[in-house]
Structure 1
């Protein structure tokens, strides 16, 4: 039954979202606006409940005057009282589409399951803000949590989906950046040329988007920059070992190839990485529990991983 529901949802995606993404021109303002509205509506319609969630907007500056914009998210039952531990969340969707608001249902669920507050960074979007704007904002948010909020890296976990995964890995490859206790990546984007995705597509097409359409979207952020730039073509296998990581991807999505390659590169560099490819699941299926029966067990696995990595298995309810 689970397999049937997932395949039915994927089939519906092929008939709707996949076709829409093929005809909306992200290079034009109206096409990008429409894509943002569609993605936001999907996340709202098929995401988890927001019941009991509270948020606190943040618009501040670091001690060296870099701007930090985002929101603290407290899931149901998670208090606002000061706590050392927290999760830093970096959203995805091609550097151009989403925001903490579109991902609020997912971050609220993550907060509820772990019992931890989640800080979701609102980095600047392409095409108005091109590379390295998003990466700079993600770095500013991380530095603010540590230097200005006084949090210890060992009490923090970083989570990111899709392009947010690329931004999180880029952050942690920088030699002077302190590492968190854990890294969680959902359908991470690694190869911005989409060659890995194109190879995967030859055997199974992604239910949500074609690689060429995804590449057009990402190009809004990377335009004018050489593909081999070290902040874009990440040298994970040759870089510093990353913190203990859990990577999830859907077996039906083209970025499963990126997830597999990223896990292999992390292990090659000396890091510890668990990879879970969920059969028949689409891109960032964890955000869509109303159509993906695998979302709930996947989120429980993520919550358990974070709890264990933060050396406190009593955090939250993960059962």
Structure 2
């Protein structure tokens, strides 16, 4: 199946192909700025990741709790929302749990109301850091380019709230949107990193509970394997991520997953043909150790009979779309994601007169 982009954009490739980048005007070797930034990040972040990895697990948990506020503030400064972005905080009780998050409406986006399309955003975190505020810039930019408002979920994080708290929150948030009157086919699920794993979990649980699936899905550098074994193997094969040391990241993820059975169906998620999967776009950076997770996510969707378009962006790191100030390609990638969302809009049928 081929998905055609509007406004003269290049056609999306068949589901089992990766996107060629010449037609997008993207340097096949990555921009000079991206290469310089990644070299700098590798010099700065790898020593910190290695030091954290050598720490005792209990110290690592304390370290996450101490450093989380500062790390979040740094990301917020590096990825601010565009001017004119409006934010409405949500704090509600729903079906025995809490709905926490924010509506993000960009300057060019329509106000959220039932009957319109919206984005349901699940931020990345390693399940232990970040928030809707850290991702407000990315969510607003995606909303501006699609002219859609987005609900960005503030799910619970480890180590304070272990598995499957975040997944339960993501499921509750989706059902809350349905209860507000939004049609499932009008919901675009989008997420990055751990948010990708939350999105897959949502699809599987939707099927098990006979809840209608979202209309489409966009995933940036999705996590597929929460044991992080795929990423560790990818690193040992020679992939040198400028940001993430896979061995250390695996220890950090365990602060959330703890003693969860790695083969539990909500850990190792299996999709099947009867799940009515949404059309999906996956983007990842060619330098990241989680490229193996992105490819496994794509294979899982295609193997279940779904439509998945995967793009490996050259010389990019993990969730590069978050940092347009650091990566020229970030804007191009978000533009491409927005076009995908536009062309996968449900067809409206006019009522008979």
TM normalised by structure 2 equals 0.83
- Choose the corresponding residue for 2:217, options 180, 183, 197: 183
Structure 1's 3 and 50: CA in aligned 2 closer, same or farther, altered over 3 A?
A: closer
Distance in 2 between residues matched to 1:146 and 1:58, nearest whole Å? 15
Q: Provide Cα deviations, 1:282-308, integer angstroms capped at 9, x if missing partner.
A: 000000011111101100111111111
Secondary structure (helix, strand or coil) at the match of 1:294 reads helix
Structure 1 equivalent of residue 277 of structure 2: 242
Distance in 1 between residues matched to 2:273 and 2:252, nearest whole Å? 28
Question: In the alignment, is the contact (CA less than 8 A) between 2:81 and 2:138 conserved in 1?
Answer: no
Distance in 2 between residues matched to 1:182 and 1:277, nearest whole Å? 20
Question: In the alignment, is the contact (CA less than 8 A) between 1:90 and 1:120 conserved in 2?
Answer: yes
Distance in 2 between residues matched to 1:304 and 1:133, nearest whole Å? 33
Larger Cα Rg: Structure 1 or Structure 2?
A: 2
Secondary structure (helix, strand or coil) at the match of 2:39 reads helix
Alignment of structure 1 residues 213-224 onto 2, 5 Å? 213-224=248-259
Question: In the alignment, is the contact (CA less than 8 A) between 2:108 and 2:144 conserved in 1?
Answer: yes
Question: In the alignment, is the contact (CA less than 8 A) between 1:241 and 1:269 conserved in 2?
Answer: no
Please say which of residues 282-291 and 31-40 is displaced more in the overlay: 31-40
Distance in 2 between residues matched to 1:305 and 1:253, nearest whole Å? 23
Distance in 1 between residues matched to 2:146 and 2:255, nearest whole Å? 35
Please say which of residues 36-45 and 285-294 is displaced more in the overlay: 36-45
Once the 2 structures are TM-superposed, how far is the Cα of residue 221 of structure 1 from its aligned partner?
1.0
Tell me, yes or no, if structure 1 residue 195 matches structure 2 residue 223. Answer: no
Please say which of residues 236-245 and 268-277 is displaced more in the overlay: 236-245
* Regions of 4+ moved over 4 Å: none
Tell me, yes or no, if structure 1 residue 163 matches structure 2 residue 197. Answer: no
TM normalised by structure 1 equals 0.91
Distance in 1 between residues matched to 2:213 and 2:65, nearest whole Å? 36
Structure 2 equivalent of residue 78 of structure 1: 109
Structure 2 equivalent of residue 317 of structure 1: none
Structure 2 equivalent of residue 17 of structure 1: 45
Distance in 1 between residues matched to 2:66 and 2:47, nearest whole Å? 13
Secondary structure (helix, strand or coil) at the match of 1:16 reads helix
Structure 1's 59 and 49: CA in aligned 2 closer, same or farther, altered over 3 A?
A: closer
Structure 2 equivalent of residue 316 of structure 1: none
Alignment of structure 1 residues 1-319 onto 2, 5 Å? 2-24=30-52, 27-28=58-59, 30-62=62-94, 64-80=95-111, 82=113, 84-147=116-179, 149-174=180-205, 175=207, 176-201=210-235, 202-236=237-271, 240-311=275-346
Question: In the alignment, is the contact (CA less than 8 A) between 2:112 and 2:149 conserved in 1?
Answer: no
Distance in 2 between residues matched to 1:280 and 1:42, nearest whole Å? 23
Please say which of residues 82-91 and 152-161 is displaced more in the overlay: 82-91
Distance in 1 between residues matched to 2:260 and 2:273, nearest whole Å? 22
Once the 2 structures are TM-superposed, how far is the Cα of residue 309 of structure 1 from its aligned partner?
1.0
Please say which of residues 45-54 and 164-173 is displaced more in the overlay: 45-54
Please say which of residues 156-165 and 30-39 is displaced more in the overlay: 30-39
Distance in 2 between residues matched to 1:241 and 1:265, nearest whole Å? 13
Question: In the alignment, is the contact (CA less than 8 A) between 1:237 and 1:267 conserved in 2?
Answer: no
Once the 2 structures are TM-superposed, how far is the Cα of residue 61 of structure 1 from its aligned partner?
2.1
Once the 2 structures are TM-superposed, how far is the Cα of residue 38 of structure 1 from its aligned partner?
4.8
Secondary structure (helix, strand or coil) at the match of 2:178 reads helix
Alignment RMSD: 2.0
Question: In the alignment, is the contact (CA less than 8 A) between 1:200 and 1:257 conserved in 2?
Answer: yes
Once the 2 structures are TM-superposed, how far is the Cα of residue 311 of structure 1 from its aligned partner?
3.9
Distance in 2 between residues matched to 1:239 and 1:312, nearest whole Å? 22
Once the 2 structures are TM-superposed, how far is the Cα of residue 238 of structure 1 from its aligned partner?
7.4
